[in-house]
Amino acid sequence: VTSQTCSCCLLGLLYQEYRDKSTRQEIETRRLQDSQTDPEESSPSEEIASEEEPTSTTESKAPPQISLLRNSNSRFNLWQDLPEIRSSGVLSILQPDEIKLQEAMFELVTSEASYYKSLNLLVSHFMENERLKKILHQSEAHILFSNVLDVMAVSERFLLDLEQRVEENIVISDVCDIVYQHTVNHFSVYITYVSNQTYQERAYKQLLQDKPAFREVISQLELDPKCKGLSFSSFLILPFQRITRLKLLVQNILKKVEEKSDRETTALDAHKELETVVKACNEGVRKMSRTEQMISIQKKLEFKIKSVPIISHSRWLLKQGELQQMNGPKTSRTLRTKKLFREIYLFLFNDLLVICRQIPGDKYQVFDSAPRGLLRVEELEDQGQSLANVFILRLLENADDREASYMLKASSQSEMKRWMISLAPNRRTKFVSFTSRLVDCPQIQCVHPYVAQQPDELSLELADVLNILDKTDDGWIFGERLHDQERGWFPSSMGEEILNPKIRAQNLKECFRVHKSDDSQRRKLGSRNRQ
């Protein structure tokens, strides 16, 4: 197999188009399943098939295995709909579950081909453009494109190995062993690229602002039909999107392989390694912005009490904001005074709470603090309008080494709940206890992408499925995403609730299977932490 083979199979969708189409079909499939009583009645393949364009009537004379990825006339091929597969008679021999597994493996291969095509366009059309080269200083080009050539070389090598496997037999034996080998040996280039993302975004904004010639060239290049109306920035973000998507594609294979089989073992191994790379990518992105944020906060704080060093490599901000503190002792909470509450400002870090009052000059005077592990919260219910959205925050050991209580009022119900969950994350929520997994709890699938605006929010991608842990009357949901178990708040308008209990149970079962090794570790850690 030569690199020529790669170029032959890259004539279909750009990766951005594939990704958008794939996730939207996933949403539609889940909607269809949710409206039925039996989850097995509809399969993703039935949905995707309707999206196809007619295939060419002229069949290649090459062996079917080699031409699988070269059919450029179909924009979104299914393995079972390829003429070579249909004419082989293999569909009448294979069990339906095996056909679904073949589709899952085939999607991993074809999507890598689509991704490589988009990377190739980023390099040949943008990075190597002569006019752009003259405008950009070498250091600017390096920040903008980072190690994309390394990423592309890794993708090409990966794709060649995947294609070779597809060519071996008309029925694909496995792909997760190849994913595992490449993740372990080559995918560290993704961590380098993604960790540069913050610098990259800044450099791009700065160049658009400072260099009209750059702005003009980029606009012209984006208008080229090759780009299919896609922006330059959509190409820059490809590697991060791909490494995350690859993990989901392996999860999809894992859900379909036979339990306790060799293919399950390779899928679990591949998933574990991809999870490590994705976490390292996320950590790389967060690290720089967190450090800058901590330095900025440190400069704004003035300590009325004994000073606490804020900057630490293992510390980051979880939530900050203003709350109203009730004046006087708890017993006076029914007094109808005009100034019942006064403003205080909280900085909550992953291991520390700092309580301040805002003072002139955009500064904050710290008058109390406590380790986050020594915080407890309690909601006040049915206390009348003046005490709506009020909760009690207890510091089991404050800056003076004693217990202290604060009665705090939030601006809305969602803000109160967000503070309570951030301050005491192991507290039981409306639908589920954090120390035990219920067999069924409400679920939602994302139908509109969402970008987190606050540290306690969760960014959502299309087709993400989440357990609903809590919700508010003013339109916010606290959820846990099934595929990576990340938690956070998001507007309820971003998703559609999954109403079919069978679908919810199926989603949970698949989630437990994917994360079973992680869950046993978490249970051990959880019991150790509670002791």
Contacts of 255 (CB under 8 A, 6+ apart): 104, 510, 513, 514
- For β-strands 487-491 and 404-409, DSSP reports them as unpaired
> In whole angstroms, what is the distance from residue 158 CA to residue 102 CA?
19
Supply the DSSP string of 259-298, one letter for each residue: TTSHHHHHHHHHHHHHHHHHHHHHHHHHHHHHHHHHHHHH
- For β-strands 443-446 and 404-409, DSSP reports them as unpaired
pLDDT higher than 60, residue 129: yes
Higher pLDDT: 63 or 208? It is 208
- Tell me if 284 sits within 8 A of 199, measured CB to CB: no
Which two three-digit tokens encode residue 397?
Answer: 């050991």
Backbone torsions φ then ψ of 409, nearest 5 degrees: -115, 130
- Statement to judge: residues 460 and 524 lie in one domain: yes
**Quick one: pLDDT at residue 179?**
98
> In whole angstroms, what is the distance from residue 383 CA to residue 281 CA?
46
DSSP H or E stretch at residue 185: helix 176-185
Q: What is the mean pLDDT of residues 304-330?
A: 87
- Statement to judge: residues 186 and 233 lie in one domain: yes
| pLDDT band (50, 70, 90) for residue 289 | confident
Domain boundary, last residue among 423, 447, 468: 423
Higher pLDDT: 380 or 449? It is 449
**Quick one: pLDDT at residue 313?**
85
**Quick one: pLDDT at residue 308?**
87
Any domain includes 14? no
Please state, for a pLDDT cut of 70, what percent of the chain lies above it. Answer: 82
**Quick one: pLDDT at residue 127?**
97
- Statement to judge: residues 486 and 355 lie in one domain: no
- Statement to judge: residues 256 and 311 lie in one domain: no
| pLDDT band (50, 70, 90) for residue 53 | very low
CATH number of the domain at 187, please.
1.20.900.10
**Quick one: pLDDT at residue 71?**
45
> Which residue matches tokens 């995947």?
162
Contacts of 93 (CB under 8 A, 6+ apart): none
pLDDT higher than 60, residue 249: yes
- Statement to judge: residues 393 and 452 lie in one domain: no
| pLDDT band (50, 70, 90) for residue 208 | very high
CATH number of the domain at 501, please.
2.30.30.40
Number of structural domains the chain divides into: 3
Supply the DSSP string of 453-487, one letter for each residue: SSTTB--B-TT-EEEEEEE-TTSEEEEEETTT--E
- Statement to judge: residues 290 and 360 lie in one domain: no
Q: What is the pLDDT of residues 437-494, one digit of tens each?
A: 555 789 999 999 999 999 999 999 999 999 999 999 999 999 999 988 899 999 999 9
- Statement to judge: residues 148 and 238 lie in one domain: yes
- Statement to judge: residues 262 and 379 lie in one domain: no
Helix axes 238-256, 15-34, angle to 10 degrees: 40
Which two three-digit tokens encode residue 116?
Answer: 């490589």
Any domain includes 388? yes
Any domain includes 199? yes
Q: What is the mean pLDDT of residues 237-257?
A: 95
Any domain includes 42? no
pLDDT higher than 50, residue 526: no
Domain boundary, last residue among 423, 444, 468: 423
**Quick one: pLDDT at residue 328?**
58
Which two three-digit tokens encode residue 80?
Answer: 């079972």
**Pick from 192, 191, 188, 187: which is nearest to 142 by CA?**
192
**Quick one: pLDDT at residue 382?**
63
Contacts of 27 (CB under 8 A, 6+ apart): 445, 447, 462, 463
Any domain includes 367? yes
Please state, for a pLDDT cut of 90, what percent of the chain lies above it. Answer: 65
| pLDDT band (50, 70, 90) for residue 2 | very low
> In whole angstroms, what is the distance from residue 332 CA to residue 326 CA?
9
Any domain includes 9? no
> In whole angstroms, what is the distance from residue 129 CA to residue 227 CA?
14
CATH number of the domain at 402, please.
2.30.29.30
**Pick from 198, 81, 208, 201: which is nearest to 135 by CA?**
208
Residue 397 lies in domain: 304-329+339-423
Any domain includes 429? no
Running DSSP on this structure, what letter comes out for residue 258? P
Which two three-digit tokens encode residue 483?
Answer: 């595929």
Q: Across the chain, what does the average pLDDT equal?
A: 84
| pLDDT band (50, 70, 90) for residue 527 | very low
Higher pLDDT: 288 or 188? It is 188
- Burial label for 494, CB within 10 Å (0-12, 13-18, 19+), is buried
Any domain includes 34? no
Q: State the SS3 of 354-399.
A: EEEEEECCCEEEEEEEEEHHHEEEEECCCCCHHHCCEEEEEECCCC
Which two three-digit tokens encode residue 219?
Answer: 């606009």
**Quick one: pLDDT at residue 520?**
46
Which two three-digit tokens encode residue 340?
Answer: 């019942």
- Statement to judge: residues 355 and 440 lie in one domain: no
Is the C-alpha dihedral spanning 115, 120, 121, 123 positive or negative?
positive
Backbone torsions φ then ψ of 367, nearest 5 degrees: -120, -5
- Statement to judge: residues 415 and 447 lie in one domain: no
- 71-75, 105-109, 337-341, 420-424 — which is least confidently predicted? 71-75
Q: State the SS3 of 489-525.
A: EEEHHHEEEECCHHHHHHHHHHHHHHCHHHHHHHHHH
- Statement to judge: residues 309 and 288 lie in one domain: no
- Statement to judge: residues 288 and 411 lie in one domain: no
**Quick one: pLDDT at residue 22?**
87
Domain boundary, last residue among 239, 271, 296: 296
Q: What is the mean pLDDT of residues 510-527?
A: 60
Q: What is the pLDDT of residues 382-431, one digit of tens each?
A: 666 667 899 999 999 999 999 999 999 999 999 999 999 999 987 766 66
> In whole angstroms, what is the distance from residue 299 CA to residue 307 CA?
13
